[in-house]
Structure 1
């Protein structure tokens, strides 16, 4: 054990106060917000409030530590101001000899181990008494605890700032996509001015104003033949050397090689569904939000087939699979697909090949298509670069947390190494 450190457990590091059991008779539109798991994980804004009075142990202030011990295991620092804490959440009050931010990082690191030991297959939870079973070593000095926490906080700040940058870049890309598919890029490599500023550059179409050089019409004008359904035999249940795509391979971000199934070896009907690298696919059944997702198949390293719930489209010489992927994934075409999908089940609706062929699209010439694709690729590369950076920072933090929170690397040594 490092000099000046002691062995203890999570239970001894603080007091874990369970939230209040709010129910509908307490709910109000006025008063302080009631904080549930959805609010600390960011999946939902504040829904209910409570205007009455409760013991201060149930009250939150910015900076308080919250440990979600049931359902979703997580540790956060609350930054939403005064609020009330709901049940199934602990407010963690540090012991006198424990620095608050240091305790936050200790608990955060411990969540992964807790997740493995959590009870219940569908509703995970950690009992308060079990916290004493999670052993930790900590520095006795508050100054060393605080210095250690500051280093990890610096990485957290970098990660949060990069996450914010990525969200802004995604919004910028959405706006850019709208401009590219309505205004396009002229021969000089510039976005055309808006129709309101240069009406002579545009013509009216079923999709609204589009550049005069573009053609507007049904998607069938840009396809070589009708869409073709795949084939879905029963999976082999063992490795056969060939695979079939699952419906989840088509995502809002395009093709992803996931949910692959083992294909049978003796079904001759599979031949018609054999994929080639670069094939363009669209889902013909899913929920209304996901039906009609598109993607370009990329070789998975084995012979691979597409299922009956997908269609294969063959772009004509007027366009490319890459450009059609952008067009069919755009909000205006997605709305057409969702409006045309049929079915009474909320979990599964379908589109037909006729629906796909009748989708209204606007298509520029091949050169302008390439300019549009190049512009989008640059925006995507920027987002991917920031995403790669944030993944690197997370890995650095994971390794550094393990070193610092076990005392394997002393914070004083690290500061000396960094020249601090």
Structure 2
């Protein structure tokens, strides 16, 4: 890749671009409830907001402030720009100080890109770390001109802003979806597509039920009663018959997307009796029978389309919804917090967490009229499409940044026209 570099670019290693200062090795007796916060990996990754404090004095090398580049080189490998105000840096984190003539803006992107590449071959299968020697061996092409560095950094900053805005929108949509699901599954939707008033607003529209207050038109039935032909465990998957035959729905297939896609399933040579008893048809809802974690038991998904015969494996329970219930509505309910609490309470934990047909089938389910269920399902589907479109946009932006990193950091692509293009895209996609 280096042959495409411009004449005013140099090959340099990461230690030539910056100094890497390891954080201070704080001891428990150093911790306090006052002073500046001690920043650990959990704080820079956002996995925890809780922190200890230190009120003593240390070298300024261990102090960080907004805008500083922090490199987590052990355990979780990542690079962030700190925005939490003045703090002390804990060990296993580098404070990265650009050398003279090196753009802070571009260094952040270069180091992020390099660490992502090094992460693939980092030492330790469970506890990864990057040694200083690897930073010295990792060479890149870097523009000599500070102005050129800043221009490249601005292009990548623009893309980062778009990525962050899209991530924030997806997170917001997920929260809105949770609220929408709760309302659709407890209040329902009328013929005009409007949510019913809440029980507090219109108590006369509701009645008491095993699920609490529900609309008067609704019923409550168990999941078993809503299954048209009982509940069935799948076929035992003999290894000798795997790889050919009809599509076989596995537990992993229940976690791929909001519906099961037979194109991604493995194959199983089911005989005629098995094909009839363990058939998977459009509209069927499937539940996991076991999981390593309690939270994973009775995870469900449904089969929307099937243009060919298919079967399902023995670690799955099949529910074939009756005409009383729309499968999309049923899946939405079975994924709700109330249903999850029921399933986890019905599970048994030994070496694996398992749930029986009775544990799944005893779930009480709200049963609006079928037309109302379909209206609610369409509202949910419309929202899911919106989230899916934003996820596609996020993936597109991430791929675009990766490609730009590869091109811009060789000098193969000039930055000025890309800067204009990126700024135009940012203006077009910034929410009003």
CA deviations over 1:225-279 (Å, ceiling 9, x no partner): 3211113334349743556444333339645569966646789767633433442
Q: Which residue does 2:174 correspond to in 1?
A: 170
The answer to whether the 8 Å contact 2:34/2:53 transfers is yes
Distance change in 2, residues 1:132/1:419 (3 Å): closer
User: Equivalent residue for 1:282?
Assistant: 287
Cα distance, 1:196 vs structure 2:
1.8
- TM-superposed CA distance for 1:399, in Å, is 1.4
Distance 1:237 1:129, change over 3 A: farther
C-alpha distance in structure 1 between counterparts of 2:226 and 2:323, whole Å: 8
**Is 1:76 equivalent to 2:60 in the alignment?**
no
The Cα shift of 1:54 comes to 2.1
Q: Secondary structure at the match of 1:21?
A: coil
Q: 1:38 aligns with which of 35, 38, 42?
A: 42
What TM-score do the two structures reach when normalised by structure 1?
0.90
Task: State whether structure 2 residue 295 is matched by structure 1 residue 295.
Answer: no
1:383 matches 2:387: yes
Task: Quote the Cα distance in structure 2 between the aligned partners of 1:120 and 1:418.
Answer: 38
* Residue 145 (structure 1) aligns with: 149
1:29-87 Cα shifts (integer Å, max 9, x gaps) = 33322222232222222333333322221111111111122223211111111222222
Worse-matched range after superposition: 264-273 or 367-376: 264-273
Partner of 1:59: 63
Distance 1:164 1:227 in 2: 41
Tell whether 2:239 aligns with 1:235.
Answer: yes
Given the two structures, how large is their TM-score scaled by the length of structure 2? 0.88
The answer on whether the counterparts of 2:285 and 2:303 sit within 8 Å (CA) in structure 1 is: yes
CA contact (8 A) 1:33 1:46 kept: no
How many residues end up aligned between the 2 structures? 418
Q: Which SS does the other structure have where 2:229 is aligned?
A: coil
Q: 1:37 to 1:234 in 2, by over 3 A?
A: farther
How far, CA to CA, are the matches of 1:36 and 1:236 in structure 2?
A: 50
Match of residue 353, structure 1, among 354, 357, 381 = 357
Match status 1:370 vs 2:344: no
Q: Which runs of 5+ in 2 are unaligned?
A: 425-432
Residue 348 of structure 2 aligns with which residue? 342
Residue 325 of structure 1: which of 325, 331, 338 is its match? 331
- C-alpha contact 2:166 2:390 (8 A) present in aligned 1: yes
Contact kept in structure 2, 1:67 and 1:74, CA below 8 Å: yes
- Residues 85 and 368 of structure 1, relative CA distance in 2, 3 Å threshold: same
Contact map agreement 2:326 2:374 (CA 8 A) in 1 = no
Contact 1:282 1:294 in 2 (8 A): yes
Question: C-alpha distance in 1, partners of 2:110/2:146?
Answer: 14
SS class of match (2:224): helix
- Matched residue of 1:227: which SS? strand
Aligned to 1:410: 414
Aligned counterpart, 1:18: 22
Matched with 2:315 is: 309
Go from structure 1 to structure 2 and tell me whether the alpha carbon gap of 1:159 and 1:415 turns closer, same or farther (over 3 Å shift).
closer
What does residue 225 of structure 1 align with?
229
Q: Which moved more, 1:93-102 or 1:392-401?
A: 392-401
Cα 1:79–1:265, aligned 2, differ >3 Å: closer, same or farther?
Answer: same
Equivalence for 1:120: 124
Paired residues of 1:220 and 1:226 also in contact (CA < 8 A):
yes
